[in-house]
Chain A
Amino acid sequence: MLSEKYKDEIADILSRYPVRRSALLPLLNLAQREEGYVSETAMKEIAGILRLTPPQVYEVVTFYTMLHLKPIGKFHIQICKSLMCALVGSDQLLEWLHRLLGIKPGETTPDRLFTLSTVECLASCGTGPMMQINDDYYERLTEQKVGQILADLRREGTSPLKSGPFMLPEAVRGHPLHSRSNGSPG
């Protein structure tokens, strides 16, 4: 039960809003952090806490792409496929991941470690191709870098190649994509 385990956090969230329902996204976030997805039990419990009907909770969950109704892999890899990343090789990134993990977007590896998704713009347009894995951004990817990141994640659960506080331009010299042709078919 969320309300027992996160009693203080829930009270803190509720105190920020004059209307209870506003706590819906924060609580769904909390539920997903706890279970890796938003379960039916969690939705019912949240409905109870916020004095909503379960369908009022469900209709919100289905609107927001970051909320999952089913369990996914331990590491959720999201590749930005919007135009700006596509111009600098996001289709290629998808191929690399397919080669390395043997899965296509929407699939999870049999060991349930990795789930692959394509998503729309993650505000990383100057540093593509890029991917988000769980909370972290990985930018200016190359095939070698992707392999390294996956190996790090398997071994350590995290990777030092993740992005820190964002600043661009900074040392962009030697960016490997500058010498590669773009990913567009035309």
Chain B
Amino acid sequence: MAEYEKILLKNMEQPRYTGSLADYEHAGGYQALRKVLGKVEPAAVTEMVKKSGLRGRGGAGFPTGVKWGFLPKNRDATYLCCNADESEPGTFKDRQLMERDPHQMLEGIVIACYAIGAEIAYIYIRGEFALGTAIVERALAEARAAGYVGRNILGTGVTVDVWVHRGAGAYICGEETALLESIEGKRGLPRVKPPFPATHGLYGKPTVVNNVETLANLPHIVNRGPEWFASIGSPPKSTGTRIFCVSGHVQRPGNYEVPMGITFRELIFEHAGGMRSDKKLKAIIPGGASAAFFTDQHLDVKLDFESVAQAGSMLGSGGVTVMEEGTSMVWAALRLMEFFYHESCGKCSPCREGSSWLVQTLRRIVAGGGRWEDLDTLTDLCQNIGGRTVCAFGDALIAPVVSTIKHWRHEYEELIQEAEAKRVSPLEAAILAH
């Protein structure tokens, strides 16, 4: 099996590494912050991040430095929000980054704040992560006491206050404008864009929202240079490593940090140990629940932004779910649709009503009550949700249905055929009643 240098998981994979400040400093932690604060112009840090090619690790994959560059030139208050609301089904990397090496993320947060001129950062952690919250709070207390966070950091005159803001159970708060609404003490309903958070974000002020893994990369980019980072993965557009979260029917589920550009075959059969039994691989969800399903024909697709997009899905949040022969794809689509139906915030009718219809239709088919017209109903519903909502949730929720109908239409047809065969016509019913 090919071995790759780990960047983000390196510290935590050392024996006896606890993630404490002492351990992190011993491993070279907070050197990047010392290198940058008061010594490198903030604009030069942004340039460095642009040059590295770093793209957002939360799902959308937007270039981080470019996002920072959208902030208006003249601004008073600026905010950074660290998106730690990890809730995309199939994804469990930020949890590990926070619980095992919280200072790596904190150092990234302070560097980002310095680059964009933010004096306050909020870490929005999903409410269910009680342990993660406690660990991050403890790390924050250590960092404050050591002068890495707070007023006049390391005597440079730079101030960055960092606070943890806990969510309370809502997938949609991982959408960046819903996250801002949630920090403002409101229901987490995504905002209409434009305006974008860069100009009108938290409290109407210029704001940057970055994912945990994105921010955790920053100290390494500073320490080893943007050219080094840009040489990893599939340059020029997919640089660096990704932590892929492998779940489902594999031998060794888990978080694997590899350079972008390795194939699904390598990730699944070498790193994750292959299938858990002698059943063959049937389907892959390549990038979290919002990504269209792949089949075994896609095993040689490369895990980078462009290749996965070109093959008709998205790299998304890095959640790779593997399903074996024998798994019903209609059932899988239903389970995901139940998720989306539960998590739709209700703001836009196509998503709110559409997800409900989709769940009811899929339930009927799976329960053996499907009708021939259901296939058209599903397709029609999907066509009227995608692109018609305020946020990307609408596009996400149709992906499992559209892609399973595309690749496994016969499974829908078989279930419906069976149900139709058992169905008694009104005429037959009338005859039977006599």
Contacts and interface: CB of A to CB of B under 8 A. Distances in A.
Contact of A63 (B166, B188, B255, B276): B188
Contacts of A132: 128
Contacts of B132: 166
Given A29-B168, A184-B327, A136 B339 contact: no
B253 A66 contact: no
A163 B135 CA distance: 13
Interface string A125-151: 111100010011100000000000000
Contacts of B411: 186
A3 B88 CA distance: 36
B335 A186 contact: no
A123 B86 contact: yes
A185 B343 CA distance: 24
A25 to B, nearest CB: 6
Interface string B303-339: 0000000000000000101011011111110011011
Nearest to A61: B168
Interface string B1-22: 0000000000010000001000
Interface stretch (A15-23, A93-101, A102-110): A15-23
Nearest to B163: A16
A174 interface: no
A25 B19 contact: no
Interface SS of chain A: helix, strand, loop or mixed?
A: loop
Contacts of B188: 63-64
A126 B185 contact: no
Given A83-B339, A137-B131, A163-B131, A123 B163 contact: no
Contact of B255 (A120, A126, A179): A126
Contacts of A81: 335, 338
Contacts of B345: 63
A88 interface: yes
B249 interface: yes
B185 A50 contact: yes
B208 interface: no
A66 B129 CA distance: 12
Contact of B167 (A64, A172, A182): A64
Of the four ranges (under 10, 10 to 19, 20 to 34, 35 or more), the interface on chain B belongs to: 35 or more
A182 B165 CA distance: 37
Interface string B169-199: 1110000000000111111100000000000
A124 interface: yes
B12 A167 contact: yes
Nearest to A162: B131
B363 interface: no
A2 interface: no
B335 A126 contact: no
Interface in A170-186: 172, 178-179, 182, 184-186
Contacts of B332: 83, 87, 184
A86 B185 CA distance: 33
Contacts of A119: 169
Contacts of B19: 165
Residue among A50, A124, A126 with max Cβ neighbours from chain B (10 Å): A126
A60 B161 CA distance: 26
A22 B183 contact: yes
13 contacts: A21-B186, A65-B168, A81-B335, A84-B319, A88-B248, A121-B88, A121-B171, A121-B339, A126-B254, A135-B130, A166-B92, A169-B255, A185-B331
Given A25-B165, A87-B323, A184-B326, 14 more contacts: A24-B185, A65-B169, A82-B335, A120-B89, A120-B343, A123-B95, A125-B247, A126-B254, A126-B255, A165-B19, A165-B100, A165-B131, A166-B132, A178-B277
Interface of A: 16, 18-19, 21-26, 28-29, 50, 52, 59-60, 63-67, 81-84, 86-88, 119-128, 132, 135-137, 163-169, 172, 178-179, 182, 184-186
Interface of B: 12, 19, 77, 86-92, 94-96, 99-100, 120, 126-132, 135, 161, 163, 165-171, 182-188, 203, 245-249, 251-255, 276-277, 289, 319, 321, 323-324, 326-332, 335-336, 338-339, 342-343, 345, 366, 411
Query: Which 3 pairs of residues, A with B, have the shortest CB-CB distance?
Result: A186-B328, A169-B254, A126-B253
